[in-house]
Chain A
Amino acid sequence: MKAVEAIGKIKRGELSSLKYIESFLSKIEKKEDKINAFITLNEEKAREKARQIDVKIDNDEEVGKLAGTPLAIKDSIITKNIKTTCGSKMLEDFVPPYDSTTVSRLKEQDGIILGKTNCDEFCMGTSTETSYFGATHNPIDHEKVPGGSSGGSAAAIKYGASPLSLGSDTGGSVRCPAAFCGAVGLKPTYGTVSRYGLIAYASSLDQIGPITDSVEDAAFLFDLIKGKDKNDSTSVEYPEKEVSNSLDIDLSNKKIGVPQEFFGEGVDEEVRKEVKKTIKELEGKGAQIKYINIPSMEYALPSYYLIAMGESSSNLARFDGIRYGYSENIDQNWEKMFSETRKKGFGEEVKRRIILGTYGLSAGYYEKYYQKALKIRTLLKKDFKKAFKQTDLLISPTMPFKPFNIGEKIEDPLSLYQADILTVPINMVGLPAISIPSNEEDIGVQIIGEPFSEQKILSTAKILEEEH
C-alpha cells in the first residue's frame, strides 16, 4: 500500500496510525537483524506519538498531511533528542538539541520518526560499508551491498520497515541505493530543499531527497520538504506550490535525450540493455528519442571528487572534540588533543578524503586541482544547457553495474569512486534526477531534468512505473 493511500485511510478512520506503525515495527522485529538498516530506533516514542494522533482523529480534530505516518530518516539529518551519528564514531553519542528544517517540516505535518538509518561515514561511500555501525545488507540479496551512502534508507523501504524515508545526495547517495534496492529515489534541484541540519559533506553539492516505494510517494514527500528556509541562505523558493497534484504527462510532444557518454565504457552490457528497453517503452508512449552528447563528461568524476573532498576537508574541520562529538585527551595541549581526537574518531575513508581535499586546496596546487575542477564544472553546466535546448529530459542508467558483494570493492577506493560516474555530473550542475527500477529490480533508470522540472521527471517516472 502506498503511503498516500494509507494516509487517506487513517484520515477516514479506516486505519489507525498505531496499527500502521505496528505493521512496520513487526517487519523490523523480524528482519532488521539481518539487514542492519537502522542505527537508532525510536519505537516507544513513535508508538506514543501515534496514539496521540489517533486520539485527535477520533475527536475529529485537524491532523497534518502525514497523519501519523512513520518516517526513516538518514542519520546525516539531525533530529532533536534522537541520537544522530552520521555513521561515525565521531558522533557516536551526539544528541542534537534542535531539528533539521526537513525534519521539523515533517513533524509539523504529524510525521513520526521511526528511526535513523545507516549510511556511509559522513556520507562518504557508495556501499554503506564505511559506516562505523557495520554494513547494511541489500534486502534483495543479503550478500550484496545496498548502495550508498543512504543505504539504510533504501534498504528500510525495500524490506518494508518504513513507508517513507529521507536520504541525502552529494554525488548519487539517494539514487545509488534506490537503484540497488529497487526503490524510487529523487535528488531534487540544488537549493529546493533546505540543508539546515544536514551534516555537511560538500555544501555546494549536498541535497536531501526522498527514497520511497512509489513515484507518487516520492512526489508527496518532496512537496512536504521543499521550499525556501531562512536558515539556509542557498535555499530558494520553489516556483510551484505543489508537484504531486498532477503527475500526468503526455509524452507525444516530448523529446527525450540519450546522452551517449552515459552508456559508454565502464557500463555493464546487462545494464545498458535494460535501460535501452526502457527507452523503447518511452518511445512506445510517443516520446521522440534524440541521441545527444555531454563531451565534458569524461572529466566529471575526477573533478567531482576534487570539489567534494576539498569542501569536506573544510566542513569536517568542525569536529574538534570540544563542543560535541568524540573527544580524546583534553588534558593535552591543543595540537595533540585535536589530532588524537580526529585520528581515533574518523574512519579510514573520511581521513583519506580530508587529506586529499586539503592537498587539492593547498597553495601551489589550488589552481591545478580545485580551481581546474570548478572550471570543468562550468563546462558541464554548458553541456547540459545545450542538451536541454534540444530535449525535455535525459535518460541513462543510474549505476554502471548491478549491486556488488559486500567486501568486494572496499579495499580499492578508486574502483568504488568509479561507481559514481553516472550520478555525480548531476550534482555538479545542481540538476534534479530520479532513479526508478527498470524491469530488473536492482537496475535503476535515471531520468534527469532541467532545474525545477521535478514534476516532469516524476510524471515520466510514473509512466515507467506503471509499465514495470
Chain B
Amino acid sequence: MEDILGYFEKIDQAKTEEVSPTSHVIEVINEMRDDKLGKELERKEALKNASEEEKGYFKGPRVKD
C-alpha cells in the first residue's frame, strides 16, 4: 500500500495552477424526466435477493445494542 501511495506522489510534479478539474468528459445537459410513475420492479422481485425480509421490507441489523 505504501509503494502505491508513493507512486501516486508523482502527480505532485504536474503543473496545474491554472487548470480546472474535469469530472465528466463529454458535454451533456441535465435532463429532467416527467414526474410520472414508471414501471417499477414488483416488491417480491425486489426482495428476492435480500438476506432477510420481514412483512415485505428488507430486514437490517439492530440499530441499538
Least Cβ distance of A400 to chain B in Å?
A: 16
Contacts A94-B49, A97-B46, A414-B4 given: A375-B10 contact, CB under 8 Å? no
CA distance A325 to B51 in the complex (A): 8
Taking a contact as CB atoms closer than 8 A, the residue among A204, A323, A451 that contacts B24 in the complex is A204
Minimum CB distance partner of A376 in chain B: B14
List B contacts of A332 (CB < 8 A).
Answer: 61-62
Count class of interface residues, chain A? 35 or more
List A contacts of B14 (CB < 8 A).
Answer: 296, 299, 372, 375-376, 379
Contacts A97-B41, A325-B49, A414-B3 given: A234-B11 contact, CB under 8 Å? no
List B contacts of A369 (CB < 8 A).
Answer: 8, 11
Q: Are B7's CB and A322's CB within 8 A?
A: no
List A contacts of B7 (CB < 8 A).
Answer: 302, 414, 417
Q: Does A371 sit within 8 A of B, measured CB to CB?
A: yes
14-43 of chain B: CB within 8 A of chain A = 14, 16, 19-26, 28, 30-31, 33, 41
Least Cβ distance of A403 to chain B in Å?
A: 23
Most-contacted residue by chain A among B14, B24, B64 (CB, 10 A): B14
Taken residue by residue from 369 to 411, chain A's Cβ proximity to chain B (1 for < 8 Å, 0 otherwise) reads as 1011111111101000000000000000000000000000000
Contacts A97-B45, A333-B63, A356-B5 given: A375-B21 contact, CB under 8 Å? yes
Taking a contact as CB atoms closer than 8 A, the residue among A338, A356, A428 that contacts B1 in the complex is A356
CA distance A41 to B7 in the complex (A): 40
Q: Are B59's CB and A191's CB within 8 A?
A: no
Listed from nearest, the 9 A-B pairs whose CB atoms lie closest are A374-B21, A430-B25, A327-B51, A324-B49, A375-B16, A97-B45, A337-B61, A377-B22, A378-B22
11 A-B pairs within 8 Å (CB atoms) are namely A94-B49, A95-B49, A97-B45, A299-B11, A299-B13, A322-B59, A322-B61, A352-B4, A378-B22, A381-B25, A430-B25
Name 18 extra pairs, CB < 8 A, besides A369-B8, A379-B19: A97-B49, A191-B28, A303-B11, A321-B51, A322-B59, A322-B61, A330-B60, A369-B11, A372-B16, A375-B16, A376-B14, A377-B21, A378-B20, A379-B14, A381-B22, A417-B4, A417-B7, A428-B25
